[in-house]
Amino acid sequence: MEQITKSEKETRELVGKILDISPFKEHATVFVLEGELGSGKTTFVKGLEEILKIRIKSPTFNIINKYKIDFKGFKYLYHIDFYRVSDVLGLEFEEILKSKENLIFIEWGSNVLKAIPRYAKWLYFEYKGEDKRRIYEKNNNY
């Protein structure tokens, strides 16, 4: 996936494009969203509001927000922001990764790179002007 979006609305709608997924058998499904402040990571996740019929809050203060969902076999959505975090110790992050019922979106995953599983899909967000963003999928070979 690679896309230029020209508005907040277009970025919100883009999240639907990556949801052609079904749960893994052995573990959670994880998307890591990388990009500078204001590049649109939270906006992208907020696009799930229409699809999942939930209200998404900013995860900046809680670090991990959890939502009950019923979507393609997933029972919980986790929206995580590791911006102020450098170690996942004590956050029960590794527990969350174990359940195939969990659909997980992580902002600033590179802050805790060692804790991010190899099976995670990485999406990159680039600021291209006031209302313009480039959003693309690329493997992170860490």
Nearer to ligand ATP, 25 or 37 (CB): 37
Which of 31, 48, 106, 107 binds ligand ATP (CB under 6 A)? It is: 107
* Residues from 29 through 68 that contact Mg ion (CB under 5 A): 41-42
User: Distance (Å, rounded) from C-alpha 127 to C-alpha 142?
Assistant: 24
The single-letter DSSP state of residue 18 is G
Whether the CB-CB separation of 93 and 23 falls below 8 Å is answered with no
Q: Give Dmax over CA atoms of the chain in angstroms.
A: 41
Q: Of 4-12, 21-29, 61-69, 84-92, which part binds ligand ATP (CB under 6 A)?
A: 4-12
Stretch that binds ligand ATP, among 7-15, 64-72, 91-99, 112-120 (CB under 6 A): 7-15
**Residue 23's closest CA among 95, 72, 91?**
72
Which residue in the set 25, 26, 37, 61 belongs to the binding site for ligand ATP (CB under 6 A)?
Answer: 37
Q: Should residue 65 be labelled a site residue for ligand ATP when binding is judged by CB under 6 A?
A: no
Which range in 21-29, 30-38, 69-77, 95-103 contacts ligand ATP by CB under 6 A? 30-38
If contact means CB under 5 to 8 A according to the sort of partner, which of Mg ion, ligand ATP, none does residue 8 touch? Answer: ligand ATP
| Helix H or strand E encompassing 80 | strand 74-81
What pairs with residue 60 in β-bridges? none
Instruction: Kindly tell me the sign of the dihedral angle through the C-alpha atoms of 96, 120, 103, 106.
Output: positive
